[in-house]
A and B are shown apart, each in its own frame.
Chain A
């Protein structure tokens, strides 16, 4: 489905990111960094336990934008984000996108991923060309 009039907010996506999911992601995304898995490096690292891949958290934003905009998100969609806190596994993450502006057929959303207590893990913007 392609939205011509951008919604004021897209439907949030919430998902549990647990260790099995992270382990599968490490293989699928070809990221072997041991800090994401149950390894001595993860437990000796700055966070004291495994941390989910930032790109796995970001994937929820893209899923929410795909749900709202379909192929328009694939054709000219863009993202710019910064990670604010590590996603310590297991964690329930909710991705949100709230309309920030609409100019010349481009809708820009403030996007975020939050943990279950509402703490921001990731913030940024996502833009999509409206058909």
Chain B
């Protein structure tokens, strides 16, 4: 999933579509994820946990752009259209849904869509905030959410 050249975060614009990324989630991937989250693995022998899908859709974004220092993941949306099978070949496309500076802070949201062929199987939106450089060390976490 790693892209050879990462896109600078501040060069993105609303409406930009990042290159599609192939994603196939293996049984080992799911086991490692469940080992990390602590969720019992016995029910996930065939399908990918929905929030794992969301996390790996976010990872496709992380693999394609330069992550600015101090970036905070402030919100997340996710919808599963149907269960995603382990080993099912998917393609993830990320759209820059918003990208604007407000009071020095850069606020952006990214819509990701996972498809199996022509079928959309999951969609997600990640919202992030990049504090102004001078404020990066003094951001109030209670107003901005947890850093990702």
Contact = CB atoms under 8 A, between A and B. Distances in A.
Interface string B27-70: 00100110111110001000101111011101100110001001
B77 interface: yes
B148 interface: yes
A75 B83 contact: yes
A71 B46 CA distance: 11
B141 interface: yes
A29 B56 contact: yes
A74 interface: yes
B32 A27 contact: yes
B81 interface: yes
A25 B51 CA distance: 13
A112 interface: no
A25 B32 CA distance: 8
For the complex, would chain B's binding face be called helix, strand, loop or mixed by DSSP majority?
Answer: mixed
A130 interface: no
A57 B146 contact: yes
A38 interface: no
B22 to A, nearest CB: 14
B113 to A, nearest CB: 14
Interface string A44-82: 111100011111111111110010001101111111111
Interface in A25-48: 25, 27-33, 35, 44-47
A122 B39 CA distance: 19
Given A33-B148, A55-B55, A24 B76 contact: no
B75 A82 contact: yes
A15 B54 CA distance: 20
B29 A74 contact: no
Given A24-B32, A62-B49, A30 B39 contact: no
Nearest to B135: A46
Nearest to A125: B77
A33 B137 CA distance: 16
Interface string A103-131: 00000000000000000011000000000
A86 interface: yes
B77 A79 contact: yes
List the 4 shortest-distance A-B pairs measured between CB atoms, nearest first.
A83-B145, A30-B59, A24-B36, A62-B51
Interface of A: 15, 21, 24-25, 27-33, 35, 44-47, 51-63, 66, 70-71, 73-87, 121-122
22 contacts: A25-B36, A30-B1, A31-B59, A31-B62, A33-B62, A35-B147, A46-B70, A47-B147, A51-B146, A54-B76, A55-B76, A57-B146, A59-B39, A59-B55, A74-B50, A74-B84, A78-B77, A78-B80, A79-B76, A81-B76, A83-B145, A85-B146
